[in-house]
A and B are shown apart, each in its own frame.
Chain A
């Protein structure tokens, strides 16, 4: 885990290096930064701004525009519930509601112990298995509200 200001700085310098003097780098830089820290810490964003000579306002403009970027820390496991059409008509709302209740979180919220972050997503593209949810890289198809507890248990 990277913690000190200096470590953040040196990591950011590493990430921005290949993009210096090139156009179109901001989104890949933010993607990589988030990959590194799990979210976009303010120190990292400030460092990107100084290194790339892009105003902070512009970076935050981009970071808040796209759903992928997060400005607060997230859970160890990301639970995504598909809210696409096919899943909706096969009852994905019930799955989402039950998860909110069980984890005591709101949509896009993170549990207090940083174990889970719950995200409804537009479509996971696995409509044949509706309703679908994923935890990290694992996909669970034909999910029922009763199956949820058993699925969550597998993730510490």
Chain B
């Protein structure tokens, strides 16, 4: 690599690409070439910076100037002013919320300040398609250290000491899991990376695969060395084409450099890595279902034991970890177990990546030490609730997790603290809801998802979730009875206890937690036939504000059922018995006189 006086990093994650970062990248390259600066300034396409809301993101080093929502049209000014004359372009830098002054520097932005990046340490910092940049950031140092200085047992002990636990949601201690597979006898063993990220609202795995794919490959190599595996698979969703493309490139480069293949670094250790594209089934995130899918069958889970560590892929000992877990391994081996264990809480060590989405100002990816509170994540890093509305709840852990309320905001996040209040860590989705979100509707939404994705093998999940969904459908339509709440509670508990795999065992969580913390909303739907948040269509009422109505008759004309009556220039009225709640009148009204209640 040549030497450059400045590096311009353009985010190439899916979020920023959708916002037009490729055009910015092309314009920058052209602009620099036109000015004859292309020999002194390097433009790099990086992985995700995490602050997707502000994309496309451009960071200029060595200053660390953070530009956001840059368009191709802004590039000539950026090149002329900043890169040629050295003057920061004020109008493009990040503007703090409210009273906070403009913040030109990356690390001073509240969104980044509180973060501690281990898994994400290279995301947004290096070109993920260039192995040399990964190596320049101490990449593959851990692999060299392991195969030359450490025995496989040393590697496992270090991972045990670090306290790393499965980041896919289960939270099982990683070192312990590895030791089971290492002890298991077999001529052939497999390691698998679970990249079938199916949780709606979670995208950390995709960002890691796109932003720092070599770290995942190195993690898998270390695991393979520790457990004696010679072959591995990355099982990735087909919905992530960019991640798959970068993984393929990564495997080619690592093979070329001698980190993958036979006799790695001149030792006896050999490891071959393949990519398997998923075919679209949420249940394949469950490890036994995932293995069935790699084998070419329907992705249905099977009872355990036997555990994959003894009888896994094609009947051979197999170890499966999630993307984020693998991404932490190389740093742990490089820096030691104690270094990682110094972060976090007593039983949950290290950091966790959260995908912060929903009604929050800064959606994006954040990595914080375990033990950080939800309040810090939502209000300090996330910048609070969108449009200054009131915080209502946060759904943690995706469709298998639970909804937590205001009273839980100060809980330090750990596997234990979350399960105590009925939620789970899950893969780390954090969806923020405000006063306009109906919690019954949210619970129904999640259950619709898990119900549709139930593989149908075991009756509690297949039939039970269907029944629960029927009941929820009745409630949001205003046809629920008080007994329905007892039925939901009973069914939910039963499904949790008796389902075969993690999908069914966690599917009732959103309903059970909202029943526990937002029972009043369920009761309002049932007893008063009213949706307090005004979100449930069938319970909504459209009402014309007589003070605002100018009697233009537009609403009466668009109403498909003739429910609106009134004379010209006089306030109109909606006949609630005829109204089908289509909302056409509210859209047509020029003075916004029609409210939905």
Q: Are A and B genuine complex partners?
A: yes
Instruction: Pick the interface stretch among B155-163, B357-365, B411-419.
Output: B357-365
B363 CB contacts on chain A under 8 angstroms? 86, 127-128, 130
CA distance A23 to B363 in the complex (A): 42
Residue B293 CB within 8 A of the other chain:
yes
Asked whether A89 lies within 8 Å of B358 as measured between CB atoms, the reply is yes
State whether A27 and B200 are in contact (beta carbons under 8 Å apart), knowing that A128-B55, A128-B357 are contacts in the complex: no
Residue A10 CB within 8 A of the other chain:
no
Contacting residue for B203 out of A31, A66, A127, CB 8 A: A127
A90 CB contacts on chain B under 8 angstroms? 358-359
Q: How far is the CB of A2 from chain B (nearest CB, A)?
A: 22
Contacting residue for A132 out of B18, B296, B298, CB 8 A: B18
Residue B294 CB within 8 A of the other chain:
yes
Residue of B nearest to A125 (CB): B203
Q: How far is the CB of B529 from chain A (nearest CB, A)?
A: 21
Q: How far is the CB of A123 from chain B (nearest CB, A)?
A: 4
CA distance A67 to B455 in the complex (A): 12
Q: How far is the CB of A144 from chain B (nearest CB, A)?
A: 12
Contacting residue for B19 out of A127, A129, A130, CB 8 A: A129
Residue B128 CB within 8 A of the other chain:
no
1/0 per residue, CB under 8 A from B, across A58-72: the answer is 000110011111000
Residue A74 CB within 8 A of the other chain:
no
State whether A141 and B19 are in contact (beta carbons under 8 Å apart), knowing that A27-B296, A122-B282, A127-B363 are contacts in the complex: yes
Residue of A nearest to B446 (CB): A85
Q: How far is the CB of B356 from chain A (nearest CB, A)?
A: 9
State whether A26 and B296 are in contact (beta carbons under 8 Å apart), knowing that A85-B357, A126-B203, A128-B363 are contacts in the complex: yes
Residue A121 CB within 8 A of the other chain:
yes
State whether A66 and B18 are in contact (beta carbons under 8 Å apart), knowing that A23-B295, A125-B203 are contacts in the complex: no
Asked whether B295 lies within 8 Å of A130 as measured between CB atoms, the reply is no
Asked whether A85 lies within 8 Å of B279 as measured between CB atoms, the reply is no
Residue B281 CB within 8 A of the other chain:
yes
B241 CB contacts on chain A under 8 angstroms? 137
B240 CB contacts on chain A under 8 angstroms? 125
Residue A24 CB within 8 A of the other chain:
yes
State whether A86 and B14 are in contact (beta carbons under 8 Å apart), knowing that A24-B294, A127-B203, A128-B357 are contacts in the complex: no
Q: How far is the CB of B483 from chain A (nearest CB, A)?
A: 28
Asked whether A62 lies within 8 Å of B296 as measured between CB atoms, the reply is yes
B339 CB contacts on chain A under 8 angstroms? none
Task: Mark out the residues of chain A between 83 and 111 whose CB falls within 8 Å of any chain B CB in the assembled complex.
Answer: 83-86, 88-90
Which bucket holds chain A's interface residue count?
Answer: 35 or more
State whether A127 and B359 are in contact (beta carbons under 8 Å apart), knowing that A65-B281, A122-B449, A139-B14 are contacts in the complex: no
Residue of A nearest to B453 (CB): A122
Asked whether B53 lies within 8 Å of A128 as measured between CB atoms, the reply is yes
Residue B572 CB within 8 A of the other chain:
no
Asked whether A85 lies within 8 Å of B15 as measured between CB atoms, the reply is no
Asked whether A86 lies within 8 Å of B357 as measured between CB atoms, the reply is yes
CA distance A88 to B314 in the complex (A): 39
B314 CB contacts on chain A under 8 angstroms? 23
A27 CB contacts on chain B under 8 angstroms? 276-277, 279, 293, 296
Asked whether A126 lies within 8 Å of B201 as measured between CB atoms, the reply is no
Instruction: Pick the interface stretch among B136-144, B429-437, B484-492.
Output: B429-437
Residue A124 CB within 8 A of the other chain:
yes
Residue of A nearest to B364 (CB): A128
1/0 per residue, CB under 8 A from B, across A114-156: the answer is 0000000111111111101000010111000000000000000
Residue of B nearest to A137 (CB): B241
Q: How far is the CB of B146 from chain A (nearest CB, A)?
A: 29
Q: Which of B52, B398, B446 has the most CB of A within 10 A?
A: B52
List residues of B whose CB falls within 8 A of some A CB: 14-15, 17-19, 51-53, 55, 197-203, 206, 238-241, 276-282, 293-300, 314, 355, 357-359, 363-364, 395, 398-399, 429, 431, 433, 437, 442, 445-446, 449, 453, 455
List residues of A whose CB falls within 8 A of some B CB: 23-28, 30-31, 61-62, 65-69, 83-86, 88-90, 121-130, 132, 137, 139-141
Q: Provide a sorted-by-A list of 22 A–B residue pairs whose CB atoms are within 8 angstroms.
A: A25-B296, A27-B296, A28-B276, A31-B277, A61-B298, A65-B299, A66-B279, A66-B299, A67-B279, A68-B280, A84-B201, A85-B398, A85-B431, A89-B442, A122-B282, A123-B200, A123-B202, A125-B14, A125-B203, A126-B14, A128-B53, A128-B363
Which 5 pairs from chain A and chain B are nearest by CB? A128-B52, A84-B200, A67-B280, A66-B279, A86-B357
